[in-house]
Amino acid sequence: MKTYSAHKIFTGTEWLHDHSIITENELIVDVVPTENIGTASTQLYSTLIPSFIDIQIYGAHEKLLAVYPEADSLFRLYEYCKDGGALHFCPTVATNSNEVFFKCIDAVRDYWKQGGKGCLGLHIEGPWINAAKRGAHIESFIYKPTVYDVKTLLEYGKGVIKIITLAPEVCTEEVIGLIQSHGIIISAGHSNATYTEATTAFNKGIYAATHLYNAMSPLQHREPGLVGAIFNHSKVRASIIPDGYHVDYAAICIAKKIMKERLFVITDAVTATANGPYPHQLVGDKYESNGTLSGSALNMKKAVQNLVTHCGIGLEEAFRMCSLYPAQVLNINGLGKIEKGYMASFIEWN
């Protein structure tokens, strides 16, 4: 049993002062006033908050997972995430060959086998997307999937694949239903769907969208597109990249006012690499691939700071956008809060 005492604890819903978190077997047993436990922990913290969760990040410390599909890449990625306050993450692979996807699936299994922490499963972004909204994705890898294609990937990635980003207008209802039957979260993205197409897909169970505004049909007054469908559907959540490059901060403010708790944060972070089909170069505070914006240099702590400083979002809500809301997207009830029965997953906030 371990005890963590702090002057302030943000539980995910409220601030507690001079309280202690009692944990056992990596679960929170109780949260009580420090004066009630007799002896405090050996270390007194200033402020503790729920740890962050990054469900879209591609690599770190010069090891992009798609280029180096091995456990070491994930250990490096975990260290990068942890430095930014994210103790949980979904390593992500952009549109690629099945060979690369399979190797990345193997890497996750090997990482878990070696005791690697924090990895919640693989996020596969593409290749079943719309080439018209491919962004930095390689067009030659993009295709419309058959049921056989989907079964092949899902069977190999059983227990590892957590999220698939796809364009709903590119995939048949049978394909989408098959993915959902495996308990995998579908996120609409890199899509040129009309408002009607997107709304129909949302009504049939797709409840997430990948990096709002980026690589999707925009909101226009005669065709509201995927952005309009996301705004107007009360059950759809969308990720956003608050680095000031992928999305103007004013656009984040607009989305937040409309979507409220349905908007959550991803870093979309990559790392420098000259190898593979996606060579990423650091240009200022962002990455480019073949001259196209390809990823951020964010971590979650910086994302929180940007939301507060540039978007006027309250600190507590910024915390939730990086912790509680991603946990809800992943349907994980034990993360995102500091409460009895939740995982003992929290960080110190300065």
Do 35 and 69 meet the contact criterion of CB atoms below 8 Å apart? no
Q: Output the pLDDT for position 41.
A: 62
Reported as a single tens digit per residue, the pLDDT across 109-146 is 999 999 999 999 999 999 999 999 999 899 999 999 99
- Give me the tens of pLDDT residue by residue for the chain, a chain 350 residues long: 899 999 999 999 999 999 999 999 999 999 999 998 876 566 789 999 999 999 999 999 999 999 999 999 999 999 999 999 999 999 999 999 999 999 999 999 999 999 999 999 999 999 999 999 999 899 999 999 999 999 999 999 999 999 999 999 999 999 999 999 999 999 999 999 999 999 999 999 999 999 999 999 999 999 999 999 999 999 999 999 999 999 999 999 999 999 999 999 999 999 999 888 888 999 999 999 878 888 999 999 999 999 999 999 999 999 999 999 999 999 999 999 999 999 999 999 98
Look at residue 289 in the predicted model and tell me its pLDDT: 83
What's the confidence (pLDDT) of residue 39? 60
Q: Is the pTM of this model over 0.75?
A: yes
pLDDT computed for residue 20 by the predictor: 95
Pick one of 2.30.40.10, 1.10.287.1060, 3.40.50.10860, 3.20.20.140 as the CATH number of 2-49+340-348. 2.30.40.10
For residue 268, the model assigns a pLDDT of 97
Radius of gyration of the CA atoms of the chain, in A? 20
Dihedral-angle region of residue 85 (phi above 0 means left; psi in -120 to 50 means alpha; beta otherwise): left
Q: Which of 54, 83, 268, 285 is catalytic?
A: 268
pLDDT in tens, 24-42: 999 999 999 999 887 656 6
Q: Going by CATH, does the domain composed of 52-325 fall within 3.20.20.140?
A: yes
3-class SS string, the chain? CEEEEEEEEECCCCEEEEEEEEEECCEEEEEEEHHHCCCCCCCEEEEEEECEEEEEECEECCEECCCCCCHHHHHHHHHHHHHCCEEEEEEEEECCCHHHHHHHHHHHHHHHHCCCCCECCEEEECCCCCHHHCCCCCHHHCCCCCHHHHHHHHHHCCCCEEEEEECCCCCCHHHHHHHHHCCCEEEECCECCCHHHHHHHHHCCCCEECCCCCCECCCCCCCCHHHHHHHHCCCCEEEECCCCCCCCHHHHHHHHHHHHHHEEECCCECCCECCCCCCEEEECCEEEECCEEEEECCCHHHHHHHHHHHHCCCHHHHHHHHCHHHHHHCCCCCCCCCCCCCECCEEECC
Q: In this predicted structure, what is the pLDDT of residue 37? A: 85
Per domain, the residue ranges of the chain are 2-49+340-348, 52-325
> Is 18 tagged catalytic?
no
CA dist., res. 85 & res. 340, Å (int): 21
How far is residue 156's CA from residue 248's CA, in Å, rounded to a whole number?
A: 39
Q: How far apart are CA 136 and CA 145, in angstroms?
A: 20
